[in-house]
Amino acid sequence: MQTPVENPAKRPMPAFPHTFPFDPTYGYTRERLLAIQPPEAPDDFDAFWAATWHANAAVPLDLDVTYVQSPSPRFRMRMVRYTVLGGHRVGAWLLTPVEGPVDTAAICGHGYGGRDAPDVPEQQAAFMFFCAPGFHLSAAPSLPADAYRHVVHGIGHRDTYLIRSCVAAIWSAAKVIEEVTEQSFVNRYYFGGSFGGGLGALAVPCDDWFTKCMLAIPTFGHHPLRLQCRCQGSGEAVRLYAEKYPDVREVLAYYDAAVSATRIRIPNVTLPALFDPAVPPPGQFAISNAMAVCGKRYIYSAGHYTHPDEEQENREAGRLVNQVLWDA
């Protein structure tokens, strides 16, 4: 079992100048953030997600695969489309190395701005960059493509909430990457930040395909706390919706990434932030604290906010991710 690792130099709580009409630290000290525990789960939380996994597994992928121009001479790239729970067609870019053996596959999520192109990886691995239902390659007339409408789409019932199909897109991506490459992988990773981090916390514990994961500034953590925190991210749309329709809290209880994170028992890295105007830090730390028993973490001074130490912190966090996931 790994032990949690904090920053080499424990920075004090940031005091960034800002014009937000709220405090992006929400009055929390570092010590209070590190003490946050996930909320209580509904009695049938695990049963709901197990049933969701099986329902999605029964959906035919209906794969469509096309080779397209790669952003790097080191990789071949295919555009793939597949079907997930709810009948949504999901698009993704699959990059595989042109040369050399490959024993590692990684599924990569995206933030709530969507993804209009794949990244160019440094590592020798197969990479699946999927677009969550509603965004870019997965756009559809029936689905919103902006964060504020997307995050409340179908939220009136746990079975219709769009986030359910977004989680299913990750599970199906794992099947797709092996079916298209016609191989199994020894190392099987998930990477996600912000929106993609929250989705990963919900998806990873339900599928034993994953062997390691990295979640950065993850959302959807500890809804009871999040609903008390004004922000400028998608969480604000959920907070305002819950003010108008309080019963939605019963639905959100099934989509709490901090609760789901307590089920993650694979090596992991979490990257929460002390100051974040888009994703309230209490929710981020509820997820990170739940995962720390099997993982390591790097604490950012700020998330979703440009500051002087940002590049240095990204390099330091990157070294930790490489150490835990790629160099092990």
Report which of 238, 289, 225 is spatially closest to residue 261, judged by C-alpha positions: 289
Q: Across the chain, which distance is largest between two alpha carbons, in Å?
A: 56
Strands 88-97 and 268-271, how do they pair?
unpaired
**The pLDDT value given to residue 10:** 62
Q: Single out the residue of 221, 219, 229, 227 nearest to residue 27, CA to CA.
A: 229
In a structure prediction context, what are the per-residue pLDDT tens digits for the chain, which is 328 residues long?
344 455 544 666 788 999 999 999 999 999 999 999 999 999 999 999 999 999 999 999 999 999 999 999 999 999 999 999 999 999 999 999 999 889 999 999 999 999 999 999 999 999 999 999 999 999 999 999 999 999 999 999 999 999 999 999 999 999 999 999 999 999 999 999 999 999 999 999 999 999 999 999 999 999 999 999 999 999 999 999 999 999 999 999 999 999 999 999 999 999 999 999 999 999 999 999 999 999 999 999 999 999 999 999 999 999 999 999 998 6
Give the dihedral sign, CA 154/158/163/164.
Answer: negative
Determine the pLDDT at residue 100: 86
Percentages helix, strand, coil for the chain, rounded to the nearest 5?
A: 35, 20, 45
Domain boundaries, the chain: 30-326
String of b and e for 160-194 (b: at least 16 CB within 10 Å)? ebbbbbbbbbbbbbbbbbbebbeeebebbbbbbbb
What is the predicted pLDDT for the residue at 217?
98
Domain covering 30-326: architecture: 3-Layer(aba) Sandwich (3.40)
The tens digit of pLDDT for each residue in 236-281 reads: 999 999 999 999 999 999 999 999 999 999 999 999 999 999 999 9
pLDDT of residue 14: 81
- DSSP string for 66-122: EEE--SSTTEEEEEEEEEETTTEEEEEEEEEESSS---EEEEE---TT--SS-----
Cα–Cα distances in Å, from 123 out to 74, 104, 119, 242? 10, 9, 12, 42
CA angle 146, 148, 152 (to 5 degrees): 110
Give 63's DSSP letter: -
| pLDDT of 3 | 44
pLDDT for 7 equals: 56
In a 3-state reduction of DSSP, which class is residue 296? strand
> What are the tokens at 28?
């929390």
Rounded to 10 degrees, the C-alpha dihedral 328/283/236/203 comes to 50
Position 4 scores a pLDDT of: 46
Look at residue 1 in the predicted model and tell me its pLDDT.
37
Provide the mean pLDDT of the chain: 95
C-alpha span between 48 and 296 (Å, rounded): 29
CB neighbours (10 Å) of residue 234? Answer: 24
Residue indicated by tokens 């888009």: 278
